[in-house]
Amino acid sequence: MLTGLPGPTYTVPPPRRMGGRVLYLDLDGCLHPDAVYEKGSGPFIFGYPDHRLFEHAGLLEDALAPYPRVRIVLSTSWVRRYRGSIRRVSRGLTPALRERIVGATFHSRMDLSVFVDAPRGFQVWSDVLRRKPEAWLALDDDSENWPSWCEDRLIRTDPILGISAPEVLAQLKEKLYEMDREDGRMDAPASTQT
């Protein structure tokens, strides 16, 4: 277990894929509107009849195309809902996006109540501490209670338009370009750097 670090920590095995360049990806409010509910047949969007699940997956695939080294870690409640099944969660993504997925912020061996009680930013930061990416970004419509040292890594999406909002898509492309040029440093709060 990691100790002496701000935010929740989890006693789980290290991720299978460590290091690299990572995009932490939420689904609701990023690839489709955030008004996703579940019924017997699975998830559906409520209140936005002109939208469909994963409607912006192609936009994300295009934005990531120039950066083949960027991998995806799912940071979405869908992973918990589907009992950690990354394969099931990623079914609606394009094949190219599915190939990039290397894991999720939630692991089935985590204490579910501790994980759920943590703000999304701390869930992501905990994975950063375990995975140790050389560079990372997070794409999410939930910007509340993110650790201050992670805020510059967060690309906040529009809860309805997701990444299709022009300013969000432009910011994503700019930050991917900047991340690609990084020299391998990983920003962390001064109190946690060794």
The token pair at 100 is 């990039």
Tens place of pLDDT for every residue, the chain, 194 residues? 334 445 555 556 677 778 899 999 999 999 998 877 677 767 777 777 888 888 999 999 999 999 999 999 999 876 666 655 677 777 889 999 999 999 888 877 777 778 778 888 999 998 999 999 999 999 999 888 899 999 999 999 999 999 999 999 999 999 999 998 875 444 444 444 43
Residue 122: which domain range?
21-182
Strands 70-74 and 21-25: parallel
Is 193 part of a structural domain of the chain? no
Q: What CATH number has the domain bearing residue 53?
A: 3.40.50.1000
- Confirm whether 111 is domain-assigned: yes
Domain count across the chain: 1
**Would you say residue 13 lies in a domain?**
no
Helices (H), the chain: 57-64, 77-81, 86-89, 95-100, 112-117, 120-131, 166-181
**130 in a structural domain:** yes
**pLDDT computed for residue 13 by the predictor:** 66
User: In degrees, to the nearest 5, what angle opens at C-alpha 45 toward C-alphas 47 and 155?
Assistant: 100
Instruction: Say what the pLDDT of residue 192 is.
Output: 43
Domain annotation covers residue 1: no
What local confidence, expressed as pLDDT, does residue 189 receive? 43
Quick check: helix, strand or coil at residue 67? coil
